[in-house]
């Protein structure tokens, strides 16, 4: 039992941290170490066999000349009385039910507890061996050692022994095996061997059975008493797994449902990279991802497995079933009726009402939606929603307001047939002349046979009183006149059918409107007067001279008197030229009728700095103000120097000329006041000013 527990632990550890390996394959761990019955942990020799096996000599021992580590296993074929015992160590059990050597066999069964777990599918078996052939006995030169590893499920018996009553044929449980037979020659130094696994089944193995013998069969020729049998040293067995990327897809994939793909790659990848064109998500780094396909079809799936040595990829094609098409009717019924809903398109149905039949009967009190899920024979499903509509009333009938003695038509719509109660009528239109406010009821039957009713009212009102607002405006302004009290209007002048008109009379004017009201006989009129008050004529006197910045305040004069002045620099009816520039002054006057008018003037203030004020009557500037070309008439043909200064005293232009009329292009000058200085050769300098607009 100790061996079994240890073997299970070692196998589980190997599986947890890497590809499954044979437990104690380096033969470092031993049971009963140092005794004649010592055996490698997880392995058995004939001493722990059954029947007569344990009575033979021990053929397995621990050797201290390993390929690596501290120990290796040594098996030796030995002579025993009149028979030969093959040197053997196995993860199974050596069975010897009788003294007949042909009846002996190796087994790994649940009964003897020698079924060692191993679920991998290795590609090959490698290991190290040394070999010494028997020194005597017939056939000694043909002796060969053997290492055999069998992967199986369930119970297993080594088939090298003929099947008999002691053990049945269990070859059906074999998944595959790897067999190495040494050359028929001595091998004094450690030599590596490698053999592939041959698989006879695609199933995953459950157990492993290891058999190592110093002779190549159970019926080896015995050495004589004076000679030694063949000796086999084995160390460092290892299962090799070549990286293979592989995965399993679900047997059935339905659109809209999650399909989980299972990684089946060998040799334990360290990372996974999936590509799912046409799916959501289209890629994943999970080992076993789940994706969803929106529609049926054929799709490719690629898995790239990453290993320390590189990457390996595999691409497979998967088929996604077409989504079933579920159809269901959506009826309209009258309130209180029952609707029959019928689903088609699949083989099984499930309603949100709990029903599982293709047809259900429902009686909703209001318009309601019902959902059915249809599932086809492949297990794919789709949903469809049906709406049961309760027929609503679409009856529409006009209401009316009329004068006493008037007549009005009531018109109903929204059904196929109609019934008025009073007056009794089946026409969609009735004409009534009530003397008091009266309600009228009508019912309508639609195409489904549903009956709906509605009521309208004819209100009796007094004759309309038409009125128009009056208005007072200043001459030149516009008044808004609004008529009210009726339903339609006609103005005589200006001609208009609107309730509102805009007028701009120049004197007091009377306006008349004629009005009418629905259901009322006759025409009703109203008048309005628009009073026009005069707008005053206002004037602001101009300042004739150009003031200098810093001069005293200048009195302003506006007519008619009694108005108000505004603008920059204006206070108490005066303008103070505090700084150079152009300033707009406005005078506003309001008469006793409340009508206002205003007048504005621009005052230009000169800086009056940097140039001697020598005015000359002989110099004429025109046009002044100037926009384009300024003409300077100096009335002589002497050579003259002409300099132009801005209000800050900065020279902005200079030229010489002997012309009697000098021209200056003012396009490059900004708006403002400029000073011109003309200096002749034989005359004093003359100064003049101009305004550039």
For residue 137, the SS3 value is coil
Contact yes or no for 395/442 (Cβ under 8 A): yes
Pairing label, strands 247-248, 146-152: unpaired
The CA distance from 44 to 503, in Å, is: 125
Cα 392 to Cα 83, 339, 389, distances in angstroms: 106, 16, 8
Contact yes or no for 7/116 (Cβ under 8 A): yes
The CA distance from 274 to 277, in Å, is: 10
pLDDT, tens digit, for every residue of 386-402? Answer: 999 999 888 999 998 88
The CA distance from 11 to 114, in Å, is: 13
Compute the mean pLDDT over every residue in the chain, rounded to the nearest whole number. 87
Q: Which two tokens stand for residue 40?
A: 């490698």
Per-residue confidence (pLDDT) for residue 75, from 0 to 100: 96
| DSSP per-residue string spanning 360-392 | EEE--SS-EEEEEEEE-TTS-EEEEEEEEEEPP
Report which DSSP code applies to 346: S
CATH, range 467-533? 2.60.40.10
Q: Which among 156-170, 180-194, 404-418, 627-641 has the top mean pLDDT?
A: 180-194
pLDDT, tens digit, for every residue of 484-540? Answer: 988 889 998 888 989 999 999 989 999 999 888 777 777 888 899 999 999 999 999
Cα 353 to Cα 186, 363, 383, distances in angstroms: 84, 12, 14
The pLDDT > 70 percentage for the chain reads 93
| Span 670-689, average pLDDT | 81
Per-residue confidence (pLDDT) for residue 608, from 0 to 100: 66
Q: Which two tokens stand for residue 367?
A: 């318009």
pLDDT, tens digit, for every residue of 579-634? Answer: 888 889 999 999 988 899 999 988 888 776 544 444 455 688 888 898 888 988 88
Q: Which two tokens stand for residue 71?
A: 């120990």
pTM assigned to the model: 0.45
Cα 28 to Cα 71, 130, 197, 435, 549, distances in angstroms: 5, 17, 25, 122, 116
Q: Does domain 620-692 have CATH number 2.60.40.3080?
A: yes
pLDDT, tens digit, for every residue of 28-53? Answer: 999 998 888 899 999 999 889 888 88
**Structure confidence at residue 220 as a pLDDT band (50, 70, 90):** low
Contact yes or no for 154/204 (Cβ under 8 A): no
Q: Is the pLDDT of residue 9 over 50?
A: no
For residue 596, the SS3 value is strand
**Structure confidence at residue 15 as a pLDDT band (50, 70, 90):** very low
Return the CATH architecture of domain 396-461: Sandwich (2.60)
Q: What angle do CA 454, 456, 459 make, to 5 degrees?
A: 165
Give domain 255-320's CATH number out of 2.60.40.10, 1.10.10.10, 1.10.150.20, 1.10.150.390: 2.60.40.10
Q: Is the pLDDT of residue 233 over 50?
A: yes
**Structure confidence at residue 221 as a pLDDT band (50, 70, 90):** low
| Span 652-670, average pLDDT | 87
Report which DSSP code applies to 252: -
pLDDT, tens digit, for every residue of 295-339? Answer: 999 999 999 999 988 999 999 999 999 999 999 999 999 998 999
The pLDDT > 90 percentage for the chain reads 53
Q: Is the pLDDT of residue 422 over 80?
A: yes
| DSSP per-residue string spanning 69-126 | SS-EEEEE-EEETTEEE--EEESSEEEE-SS-GGG-EEEE-TTTT--EE-----SEEE
Contact yes or no for 321/295 (Cβ under 8 A): no
Contact yes or no for 359/293 (Cβ under 8 A): no
Pairing label, strands 258-260, 231-240: unpaired
Contact yes or no for 493/515 (Cβ under 8 A): no
**Structure confidence at residue 106 as a pLDDT band (50, 70, 90):** confident
**Structure confidence at residue 666 as a pLDDT band (50, 70, 90):** confident
For residues 426, 432, 436, 437, the Cα torsion angle rounded to the nearest 10 degrees is: 60
| Span 59-64, average pLDDT | 95
Q: Is the pLDDT of residue 7 over 90?
A: no
Find the helix or strand (DSSP H, E) in which 8 lies. Answer: helix 2-17
The set of residues, in sequence order, having a beta carbon less than 8 Å from that of 66 and lying 6+ positions away, is: 26, 27, 72, 235
Q: Is the pLDDT of residue 451 over 60?
A: yes
CATH, range 2-240? 2.60.120.260
Asked if the bond preceding 85 is cis, omega within 30° of 0, the reply is no
For residue 417, the SS3 value is strand
Q: Is the pLDDT of residue 218 over 50?
A: no
Contact yes or no for 616/594 (Cβ under 8 A): no
Q: Is the pLDDT of residue 245 over 80?
A: yes
The CA distance from 618 to 367, in Å, is: 103
In 3D space, the residue among 141, 292, 272, 312 whose CA is nearest the CA of residue 215 turns out to be 141
582 CA to centre of own chain? 64
The CA distance from 688 to 678, in Å, is: 9
The CA distance from 214 to 181, in Å, is: 10
The CA distance from 449 to 440, in Å, is: 22
The set of residues, in sequence order, having a beta carbon less than 8 Å from that of 79 and lying 6+ positions away, is: 85, 222, 223, 224, 225, 229
Cα 545 to Cα 542, 554, 567, 689, distances in angstroms: 9, 11, 19, 11
**Structure confidence at residue 85 as a pLDDT band (50, 70, 90):** confident
Contact yes or no for 87/217 (Cβ under 8 A): no
Cα 652 to Cα 330, 632, 643, 656, distances in angstroms: 91, 17, 8, 14
The CA distance from 27 to 42, in Å, is: 9
């Amino acid at each position: 039992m100790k061996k079994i527990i240890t073997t299970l632990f070692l196998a589980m550890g190997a599986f947890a941290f890497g590809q499954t390996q044979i437990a104690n394959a380096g033969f470092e761990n031993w049971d009963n170490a140092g005794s004649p019955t010592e055996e490698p942990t997880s392995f058995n020799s004939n001493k722990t066999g059954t029947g007569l096996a344990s009575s033979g000599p021990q053929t397995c021992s621990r050797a201290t000349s390993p390929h690596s580590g501290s120990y290796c296993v040594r098996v030796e074929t030995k002579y025993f009385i009149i028979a030969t015992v093959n040197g053997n160590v196995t993860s199974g059990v050596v069975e010897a039910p009788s003294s007949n050597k042909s009846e002996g066999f190796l087994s790994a069964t649940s009964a003897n507890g020698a079924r060692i777990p191993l679920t991998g599918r290795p590609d090959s078996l490698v290991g190290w061996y040394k070999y010494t052939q028997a020194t005597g006995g017939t056939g000694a030169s043909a002796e060969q050692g053997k290492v055999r590893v069998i992967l199986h499920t369930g119970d297993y018996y080594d088939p090298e022994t003929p099947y008999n009553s002691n053990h049945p044929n269990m070859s059906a449980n074999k998944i595959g095996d790897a067999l190495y037979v040494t050359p028929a020659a001595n091998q004094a130094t450690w030599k590596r061997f490698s053999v592939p696994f041959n698989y006879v089944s695609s199933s995953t193995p459950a157990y492993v059975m290891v058999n190592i013998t110093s002779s190549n069969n159970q019926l080896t020729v015995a050495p004589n008493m004076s000679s030694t049998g063949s000796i086999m040293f084995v160390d460092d067995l290892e299962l090799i797994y070549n990286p293979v990327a592989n995965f399993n897809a679900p047997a059935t994939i339905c659109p809209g449902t999650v399909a989980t793909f299972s990684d089946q790659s060998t040799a334990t990848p360290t990372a996974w990279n999936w590509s799912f064109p046409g799916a959501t998500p289209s890629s994943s780094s999970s080992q076993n991802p789940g994706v969803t396909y929106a529609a049926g079809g054929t799709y490719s799936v690629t898995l790239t497995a990453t290993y320390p040595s590189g990457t390996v990829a595999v691409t497979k094609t998967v088929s996604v079933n077409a989504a079933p098409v579920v159809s269901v009717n959506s009826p309209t019924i009258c309130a209180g009726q029952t609707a029959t809903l019928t689903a088609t398109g699949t083989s099984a149905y499930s309603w949100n009402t709990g029903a599982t039949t293709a047809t259900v009967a429902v009686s909703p009190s209001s318009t309601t939606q019902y959902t059915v899920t249809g599932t086809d024979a492949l297990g794919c499903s789709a949903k469809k929603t049906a709406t049961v509509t309760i027929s609503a009333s679409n009856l529409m009938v006009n209401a009316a307001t009329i004068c006493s003695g008037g007549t009005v038509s009531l018109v109903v719509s929204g059904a196929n047939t109609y019934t008025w109660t009073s007056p009794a009528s089946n026409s969609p239109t009735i004409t009534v002349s009530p003397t008091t406010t009266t309600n009228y009821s009508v019912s309508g039957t639609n195409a489904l046979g549903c009956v709906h009713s509605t009521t309208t009212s004819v209100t009796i009102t007094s004759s309309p009183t038409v009125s128009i607002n009056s208005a007072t405006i200043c001459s030149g302004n516009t008044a808004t006149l609004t008529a009210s009290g009726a339903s339609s209007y006609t103005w005589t002048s200006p001609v208009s059918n609107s309730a509102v008109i805009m007028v701009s009379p120049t004197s007091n004017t009377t306006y008349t409107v004629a009005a009418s009201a629905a259901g009322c006989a006759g025409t009703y009129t109203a008048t309005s007067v628009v009073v026009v008050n005069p707008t005053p004529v206002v004037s602001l006197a101009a300042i004739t001279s150009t003031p200098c910045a810093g001069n005293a305040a200048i009195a302003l004069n506006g007519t008619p008197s009694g108005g108000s002045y505004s603008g920059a620099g204006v206070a108490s009816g005066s303008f103070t030229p505090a700084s150079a520039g152009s300033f707009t002054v406005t005078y506003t006057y309001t008469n006793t009728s409340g009508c206002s008018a205003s007048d504005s003037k621009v005052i230009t203030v000169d800086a009056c700095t940097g140039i001697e004020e020598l005015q000359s009557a002989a110099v004429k500037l025109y046009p002044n103000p100037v926009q384009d070309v300024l003409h300077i008439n100096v009335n002589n043909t002497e050579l003259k120097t002409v300099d132009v200064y801005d209000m800050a005293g900065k020279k902005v232009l200079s030229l010489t000329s002997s012309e009697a009329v000098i021209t200056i292009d003012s396009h490059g000058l900004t708006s403002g006041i400029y000073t011109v200085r003309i200096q002749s050769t034989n005359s004093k300098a003359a100064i003049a000013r101009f305004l550039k607009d």
